[in-house]
Amino acid sequence: MSSINLTLKIWRQQNSDALGQLETYTLDAIHTDMSFLEMLDVLNEKLTKEGQDPVAFDHDCREGICGMCGAIIDGVAHGPEKEVTLCQLHMRHFKDGDTIVIEPFRSRAYPVKRDLLIDRSALDRIIQSGGYVSVNTGGTVDGNSIPIPSQQSELAMDAAACIGCGACVASCPNGAAMLFTSAKVSQLALLPQGQVERKQRALAMVEQMDKEGFGNCTNAKECEAVCPKGISIRNIARLNKEYLFAAMTEG
């Protein structure tokens, strides 16, 4: 275990109406086994002790699955490591003397609420518009009466692994939410349970996505590159197909 000294430039913004700016802080003796968020904890303890406002940031499970944390680290969502969330990024990936610029995830659909803390409720509304199978509790058939090829189930699981952190939108040059939306559409389109509402789901979710003010996908692949769960843009291709087919045959 070793330790490093860092300079941090962090986006500070009092509330959604205020103008924000980068503030510079220095931190010494950061253990390289720390996670990025633990490093921010150390900073916040220091700021608190100095009578300054700590940096507000979202976080919860700190094991890379709740999807609550995330920030742009030196221009890259969730930082330089592949397939990790910010809480699982460890300081061993930084060098002594590094300057790290930390900005909130941004998109037209993600208002900044304070510092690094943003409002991602637009993603919830996309799911609410149709990202589920409409079954009520009870009266379902035996689990084994719906056989699903293992491979198909694995593909669905690949898509279902999305944690809804929204890094795909934040990193997309166009602020598009296609990877997020396509992951849910794909998961359910691949499974027999999702067939009944397959077309309606694709139409409704894309419509909601457009309504929320997300941008247009131009296949820049940035979303896939920063996705902490490695969700493939193959899902976007699948969504395109699902949507085209649904729009041409439904209603």
Partner 1 sequence: MWFVRLLSSSIGKKLIMATSGLLLVLFLMTHAAGNATIFMSSDVFQGYADELHSHPLIVLIFSISLLVLVLCHVAVGLYLFWENRQVSTSRYIITKRVVKNSFASETMPYTGLVVLLFLSVHIFGFTFSPKHVDISVTVKNLLSNFFYSLFYVIAFIALTIHLSHGFWSMLQTFGINHPRYNTLISRLTLGIPLFFLLIFGGVALYFMTGLGANY
Partner 2 sequence: MELNARVPAGPLEKKWDNHRFSNKLVNPANRRKYSAIVVGTGLAGASAAATLSEQGYQVKSFCIQDSPRRAHSIAAQGGINAAKNYQNDGDSVFRLFYDTIKGGDFRSREANVYRLAQVSTEIIDQCVAQGVPFAREYGGTLANRSFGGAQVSRTFYARGQTGQQLLLGAYGALSRQIHAGGVEMFTRREMMDVVVVDGRARGITTRNIMTGEIESHVADVVILATGGYGNVYFLSTNAMASNVTAAWRAHKKGAGFANPSFVQIHPTCIPVHGDYQSKLTLMSESLRNDGRVWVPKKQGDKRLPADIPEDERDYYLENKYPSFGNLVPRDVASRNAKEQCDLGKGVGNTQLAVYLDFAEAINRDGEAAIFKKYGNLFQMYEKITDSNPMKEPMMIYPAVHYTMGGLWVDYDLMTNIPGLFAIGECNFSDHGANRLGASALMQGLADGYFVIATSIAHYLGTNKLEKVSEHEQDFIDSRRVVEDRIAKLLKNSAGGPAGKFTVDEIHKELGKLMWDNCGMARNKEDLEKALKELPAIKQKFWDYVYIPGDTKEINQSLERAGRLADFLEFAEIMIRDALTRGESCGCHLREESQTEDNEAKRDDENYSHVSVWEYAGQQEEPKLHIEPLSFENVTPSQRSYK
**Contacts (CB under 8 A) with partner 1, residues 111-170:** none
Q: Provide DSSP, 77-96.
A: ET-SSTT--GGG-BGGGS-T
Establish if 194 lies at the interface with partner 2 (CB under 8 A): yes
CA angle 16, 19, 24 (to 5 degrees): 110
Which segment (43-51, 61-69, 146-154, 204-212) binds partner 1 by CB under 8 A?
A: 204-212
Does position 119 bind partner 2 by CB under 8 A? yes
3-state secondary structure of 10: strand
Q: With CB cut-offs between 5 and 8 Å by kind, which of partner 1, partner 2, none does residue 103 bind?
A: partner 1
Q: Please identify which residue in the block is written with the tokens 């930390």.
A: 102
Sheet hosting strand 21-31, strand order edge to edge: 21-31, 3-12, 99-103, 72-73, 76-77
Q: CA–CA separation, 179 vs 197, rounded Å?
A: 20
Using the minimum distance from each CB to partner 1, give the nearer residue, 63 or 173: 173
The interface region with partner 2, picked from 99-107, 118-126, 173-181, 236-244 by CB under 8 A, is 118-126
Task: Please give the residues from 220 up to 249 whose contact with partner 1 meets the rule CB under 8 A.
Answer: 220-222, 225-226, 233-234, 236-244, 247-248
- CA–CA distances in Å: residue 108 to residues 41, 169, 175, 212, 251: 28, 10, 7, 9, 31
239 binds, among partner 2, partner 1, none (CB under 5 to 8 A by kind): partner 1
Binding of partner 1 at residue 6 (CB under 8 A)? Answer: no
Residue 198 binding partner 2, by CB under 8 A: no
From residue 228, alpha-carbon distances to 11, 142, 196 in Å are 22, 34, 31
Q: Is 171 in the site for partner 2 (CB under 8 A)?
A: no
Does residue 153 interact with partner 2 by CB under 8 A? yes
216 binds, among partner 2, partner 1, none (CB under 5 to 8 A by kind): partner 1
User: Shortest approach of partner 1 to residue 71 CB, angstroms?
Assistant: 11
Q: Does 42 bind partner 2 (CB under 8 A)?
A: yes
To the nearest 10°, the Cα dihedral for 192, 194, 195, 199?
Answer: -160
Assess 103 for contact with partner 1 (CB under 8 A): yes
Three-state secondary-structure class, residue 63:
coil
The contact set with partner 1 (CB under 8 A) reads 11, 22, 72, 74-76, 101, 103, 106-108, 171, 173-176, 178, 206-207, 209-210, 213-222, 225-226, 233-234, 236-244, 247-248, 250-251
